[in-house]
Structure 1
Amino acid sequence: MTALAPVPPIARPAALVTRTGLESAADLLAGLLPPTPQIAWPLLAEACGCTVWVKHENHNPTGAFKVRGGLVYMTHLRAERPGLAGVVSATRGNHGQSVALAARRVGLTATIVVPHGNNPEKNAAMRAYGATLVEHGDDFIEAAAHAESLARAEALHMVPPFHPWLVAGVGTYGVEFLSAVPDLDAVFVPVGMGSGICGLLSARDALGHKARVYGVVSETVDAYRRSFLAGGPVACESADTLADGIAVRVPRAEPVEAICREVEDVLVVSDDEILEAMGLMFTATHNAAEGAGAAPLAALRRYGADLGLTGKRVGLVLSGGNADRALFTRALAAAPG
């Protein structure tokens, strides 16, 4: 990876990684993952009233950005604990696929815990990558508690949903994006457990980029919106949204700190708006976007004019494309005509 240009040191939340950490992660991934494309789509520009650049993390193996962090995490873990036999983690899908793929690559077993009713196609993909899948609980929080109990009972390493190694890995997409399109005025990114947005913020700081960053969450699962307004972690009552990648009702303190200090705002969008954005993304670009991956487009369509972005250059992080067939059928029907 080309060394990043020096920028003045800044005080940063602990959730953000340094320029050195991003460079190290990029060097590790260089032989494993090709860079994903960023494309300016004219039909999205017509729909949104601004130039729209999409960072296509749906083009990664596993179909989502998480694989970057998983490979970095597992490589470091294997080096630090060569005698470890296996790992366990909880997920709604993309994190679990990443863990399964990366664990198999370094010779570890992977047990993945998902809540009941999880995306069946993501479940099938995790099994295909070699994971033992366990269904437990009604949402991510209950699945995570069970994963921790399995870690203790079976002497497995618990892979957390948020960690500096994960942030460094996924932050490489931010370096790619902001280096390739250095004059973006704003970037919209979905917020799940926080590694994606913290990776992007880390890259922005490392590059000295000036883009405003907007987090996007579901209006029915708005813990990070509440946390942003309160200045600290605030849970919400429900994890009910079709966008499973942002269905987080209990936020973590580390990403909340970074979000509160570094982003312009955390915006909410409805499930109907997400469905329309999934459909629009396909009709305008012929790319599949899952709910979380389409949420940034939904937010740009809802808030772009009010945020002064008409005629500006805006980036959208299409974080993943792993929508199941039933949901994607609904999205195509909802696409604006």
Structure 2
Amino acid sequence: MLSLQALQQAQERLAPIIEYIPLSLAPKLSLRFDAHIYLKKENLQRTGAFKIRGAFNKIASMSAEDRARGVIAASAGNHAQGVAYSARHFSIPAVIVMPESTPLLKVQATKELGAEVVLHGNNYDESYAKACQIAQDRGLSFIHPFADEAVMAGQGTIALEMIAERELDIVLVPIGGGGLIGGIAAAYHYLSPTTKIIGVTAKGAPAMAESFKSGSMHNAESVRTIADGIAVRDVNALNFSYVESLVSDIIQVDDEEIASAILYLLENQKLVVEGAGAVGVAALLHNKLALNANDRVGVVLSGGNIDVTMLNLIIQKGLVKTMRKFQFQVLLVDKPGALQALSDIFVQAGANIVQIDYDRTSTNLAYGDAYVIISLEIKGQEHKQAICDCLRANGYDFTEIL
């Protein structure tokens, strides 16, 4: 197991480049659960995620000779940026192999930090195999994103900061490969052993959760989740040993729950957080764990590098689900004044039209008819019901679009 000295040495190495971001009370979450919920906002770290900690500590602890050969990593994005930043700091070359589905934001950010980017594979594990091949061919030092105790020590410095700041009863930590939770759990093991460390995984990447529940390692056949930062298919023996011995429980959340947490953090905490970073809040919002009154809970928001296209999709779907947007298709007679008569209903109901599309060429339409697809800004369930009642009362045939 990592020694306390290794964690403290990592903290010393990281001191010049890490932004210290104190725990922040989440007042609305705290009130909702009659507890004290604190957020560790690693999404505000330079490079936008905690991964810079482990990458920098690993490279800083290498010999000058090994560093000079250059480094290589496989990553969905956050480890990539951590390695690229660290390599630039030490003025050494870096190659990053990323899955082909990696959001453009993360690819561009990695390139801007000076790394050579190779896109390969459908997930982390396929990128990892390619990176190992390139490392051997070019004599580069491989920087593993989680299965390396120097990397884990860097991630564990998050816990050293949290422990120094306040006592916590529970800490919720995202799990992908397990490097983050391993480092954090090791620090709490030494300095605050009564604190429960609970991991949170995406249901679309179930390997670690299933392995924890069964007590033996099980890999997944595939992974599919919007939380690309924790979309790890295979369980590593080193990381599993930490999880099995130091973690109290693992909770799973699905993509709908993760998306709702991203939207919640955006609206209520004014924080942009990626899927992997939002899983802890998702677990709270969807009652995945029982809290006692006045429990002190720390939630690690591991990163904020979400693709803007994905963020827009989450916002638009979230508005529909929370009854702030109503989308439907209505059949109209295609004649002058028909659309005006329909829009008059929305004026009377106090609903604002945010988008409208007009289709008179569909083969499903009778000649002389048209489909109108409308998006309305609404004010909740009662407002939506009033609009529907008004449409029906005026003889309109419509279908909601979800």
Structure 2 counterpart of 1:235, which letter? Answer: N
How big is the shift at 1:128?
0.7
Partner of 1:168: 153
How big is the shift at 1:156?
1.1
Partner of 2:307: 324
Q: What is the DSSP-based 3-state SS (H/G/I as helix, E as strand, rest coil) of the residue aligned with 1:235?
A: coil
Contact 2:163/2:192 (CA < 8 Å) preserved in 1? no
Partner of 1:81: 66
Partner of 2:255: 271
- Greater strand content: 2
Change (3 A) 1:121 1:65: same
Contact 2:19/2:46 (CA < 8 Å) preserved in 1? no
Q: Which structure 1 segments of 5+ residues have no match?
A: 1-13
The worse-fitting range, judged by mean Cα deviation, of 324-333 and 255-264 is: 324-333
Partner of 1:154: 138
How big is the shift at 1:310?
4.7
Structure 2 counterpart of 1:257, which letter? Answer: S
Q: What is the DSSP-based 3-state SS (H/G/I as helix, E as strand, rest coil) of the residue aligned with 2:281?
A: helix
Map Cα deviations across residues 55-79 of structure 1 (whole Å, 9 max, x no partner): 0111111010010111111111244
Q: CA RMSD in A?
A: 1.6
Structure 2 distance, partners of 1:271, 1:210, is: 31
Structure 1 counterpart of 2:202, which letter? Answer: S
Partner of 1:139: 123
Structure 2 length normalisation: TM-score?
0.76
Structure 1 counterpart of 2:21, which letter? Answer: T
Map Cα deviations across residues 258-306 of structure 1 (whole Å, 9 max, x no partner): 11122121111010000000111111111111001000011122235x5
Structure 2 distance, partners of 1:329, 1:116, is: 21
Q: What is the DSSP-based 3-state SS (H/G/I as helix, E as strand, rest coil) of the residue aligned with 1:239?
A: coil
Structure 1 consecutive aligned stretches of length 4 or more whose deviation exceeds 4 Å = none
Higher relative contact order (CA 8 A, sep 6+): 1
Contact 2:202/2:230 (CA < 8 Å) preserved in 1? yes
Partner of 1:127: 111
Structure 2 counterpart of 1:323, which letter? Answer: I
Q: What is the DSSP-based 3-state SS (H/G/I as helix, E as strand, rest coil) of the residue aligned with 1:81?
A: helix
Change (3 A) 1:131 1:47: farther
Map Cα deviations across residues 40-89 of structure 1 (whole Å, 9 max, x no partner): 0112223444221000111111010010111111111244635x321111
How big is the shift at 1:134?
0.5
Contact 1:44/1:284 (CA < 8 Å) preserved in 2? no
Question: Number of aligned pairs?
Answer: 319
Structure 1 distance, partners of 2:200, 2:81, is: 23
Q: Which structure 2 segments of 5+ residues have no match?
A: 323-402
Partner of 1:69: 54
Structure 1 length normalisation: TM-score?
0.90
How big is the shift at 1:209?
4.0
Partner of 1:6: none
Structure 1 counterpart of 2:216, which letter? Answer: G
Structure 2 counterpart of 1:315, which letter? Answer: G
Contact 1:188/1:300 (CA < 8 Å) preserved in 2? no
Structure 1 distance, partners of 2:156, 2:65, is: 22
Q: What is the DSSP-based 3-state SS (H/G/I as helix, E as strand, rest coil) of the residue aligned with 2:111?
A: helix
* Aligned pair partner of 2:94 in 86, 110, 127: 110
How big is the shift at 1:185?
1.4
Map Cα deviations across residues 197-244 of structure 1 (whole Å, 9 max, x no partner): 011101102213421111111112110111101212211122110001
Partner of 2:13: 28
Q: Does 1:180 align with 2:161?
A: no
Contact 1:178/1:209 (CA < 8 Å) preserved in 2? no
